[in-house]
Amino acid sequence: MDVGLLGLLQLSIESQPVLLAAVPAIVGILFGGYYMFKTFSFHGKRLPPGSLGLPLFGESISFLKAQKHDKTQEWVETRIRSYGPIFKTSLMGKPTVVITGTAGNRFIFSDNDNAIMSNQPSTVSSIMGKYNTFELTGHNHKLLRSAMASFLKPESLQRYVRDMDSLIKQQIFQEFNGKESVMIVPFMKRITFNVACALLFRLPYGKELDSLFEDLTIALKGMWSLHLNFPTTSFYRAMAARRRIFEYFSKLIEERRKLSEGNASSENDAISSLLNLRDENGEELSEDMLVDNIMTLIIGSHDTSTILLTQFVRHLARDKMFYDYILEEEKKILREKEGTDERLTWNDIQKMKYTWRVAQELMRITPPVFGNFKRAITDTSFGGFHIPKGWQVFWVSSGTHMDEHIFPQPEKFDPSRFEPTSKSYPPYSYIPFGGGPHVCPGSEFARMEVLLIVHHLVTNYEWSEVIPNEPISRDPLPYPAMGLPIKLYVKSKEEICT
């Protein structure tokens, strides 16, 4: 049963008034049957405790409301207190098992493709496309993931550092020059998008890139909305944006193919790398598969960085001590570079150890991705509970990130947790980028980008929040609700050099 059936019921009401009296009974039978099926069709199997919520909608409305107000952790913890670390619910129209804890993360992120596979909500798969790497299995999934991992590995990324540093420095100066205040969220979204497009995809600046940015923003907003495909809804607008994105990249792919004729070994960017791939039959990848995975790469290559950078700016505005510690580390790097090429290098980035520990702690407390969906492709079990084939499995990072047995005083901001001499945390307990064989292939690109941007911010500026204690809102990702406006103070040359 889906929204289309509700639409048919509505049409029947409008066109045939005589059926009005029967509608409550019809709806009751349909919803009752749905609920009975979801609840009792696995008689004899030990399903996890929990509630499937309302027929059709399940607990999606309360879940999305919690997301909107950054209360998802409380939403999960309330159910853990009632049912334990493994519980059932119904989200995005499907029965779902929520799994928390280190053992649960290991189960989710281990190479367990025979039982559990990636599975985005229907809104996500519709907008990103059914051939994106999260939806694929088998040969094509491994082919695409291997290509992305190879292109984004540290040895490959090192060639981008100087160009990335110059681009970031230029973009910050252009945006901040002559201004007393800046809206950080839109700025960080744009700078990370521009960096990814310029270095990973070689996309030209101009009106088309501006339109692509706007469409990707619209598409992202619709991914975790309700699957309601009619005008005025977020999902409807997102699908319209996807069609425009598809058209843009289809045209680009055609142009790149013409340029690469006679030069099949060219791998200057991510798009060229994907164009050179061949499926198990030796054929080029389809246009749909190429576009879906280019779109996936662009979204993935800038959103995590944007969230982390926004949290960085927000936290350093509130805590001068951490700002000063980071500033001293960055100034030391500048002093060591006196008389040489001013652009930062790969070796310089490796010296930003304390800065990255602050980043790690920010991602522990406010992970860019709170959780995500997978799907049982066969009957399986975990923790003594049956997980039926076809059910969603949802993992959440807070289950370990905020566990006092893993991270003592989890509410306290403490970057020293990640010092080499500190007590190590168990595998699969810290998962801002996933874990095991399913760790995000773009994590190193994100680290490089974040560290370069933070370096140029703290060495050139100080800032304060315009809106003290601005709350976080997830729509669907965690951003300050008002866009994080800040007041700027530009440092003099003497301040930068001393």
Binding-site residue ranges for heme = 440
The structure tokens 């959440």 sit at 396
Whether cis (ω within 30° of 0) applies to the bond prior to 231 is: no
Could you tell me which residues come within 8 angstroms of residue 44 by beta carbon, excluding any fewer than 6 positions away? none
**Contact between 454 and 362 (Cβ < 8 Å):** no
> How open is the CA angle 83-84-87, to the nearest 5 degrees?
65
Q: Give the CA-trace dihedral at 307, 309, 312, 313, to 10 degrees.
A: -110
Question: Which amino acid, one-letter code, is at 214?
Answer: E
Q: Give Cα separations from 498 to 80, 206, 215, 330 (angstroms).
A: 52, 39, 44, 12
Binding site, annotated residues: 440
Smallest Cα–Cα separation from 369: which of 161, 186, 139, 108? 108
Element (H, E) at 273: helix 270-275
CA gap 275, 286 in Å, rounded: 10
Half-sphere exposure of 294 (CA within 13 A, CB side): 29
* C-alpha–C-alpha distance, residues 254 and 189, integer Å: 28
HSE, side-chain direction, 13 A CA sphere, residue 340:
10
467: nearest Cα among 183, 152, 90: 183
Phi, psi of 382 (to 5 degrees): -155, 135
How far apart are the two ends of the chain, measured CA to CA in Å?
Answer: 67
The residue among 399, 380, 395, 376 whose CA lies nearest residue 46 is 380
Q: How many CA atoms lie within 13 A of 441 on its CB side?
A: 19
272: part of which helix (H) or strand (E)?
helix 270-275
